[in-house]
Amino acid sequence: MASVDVVDETFLAVPPSVVAAAFAAPSSWRAFWPDLELDVYADRGEEGLRWTVGGALVGTMEVWLEPMLDGTLLHYFLRADPPAGSFTPRTALREVQRRQLAAKSVALGLKLTLEDGRPAGCPPHG
């Protein structure tokens, strides 16, 4: 059975608490993943969230926030299938690529917004 299995990591030069705040509101989930229905099954605070996934896909998703150096390593995991069962291998490959690009888009969008031009290793603006 062909599934969607996506793993992504992106470093953000901000503390985990700042990244966690970006994921705290369910309205942000709808903005990041508009075709997925998410239900939190583990709120890990500054370490991230775990969801069950419904809607366009059925499975689980996680955002794990790992403190690293002077910032956060944002880990993203999605493991899911279409609601009707399984994808063909070709359809699964297209969906994985689409979800990989979407995951990186979310991470880089947060990086741009939250870092506000701050390079890693430099103190925050202020």
The per-residue pLDDT for 1 is: 53
Rounded distance between C-alpha atoms, residue 80 and residue 58, angstroms: 5
Sorted by where each starts, the structural domains of the chain and their CATH numbers stand as 4-115 (3.30.530.20)
The per-residue pLDDT for 92 is: 85
Type of residue at 32: F
Concatenated DSSP letters of 56-81: TSEEEEEEEEEEETTEEEEEEEEEEE
The per-residue pLDDT for 120 is: 65
pLDDT in tens, the chain (126 residues): 578 999 999 999 999 999 999 999 999 999 999 999 999 999 999 999 999 999 999 999 999 999 998 899 999 999 999 888 777 888 888 999 999 999 999 999 999 999 988 766 777 665
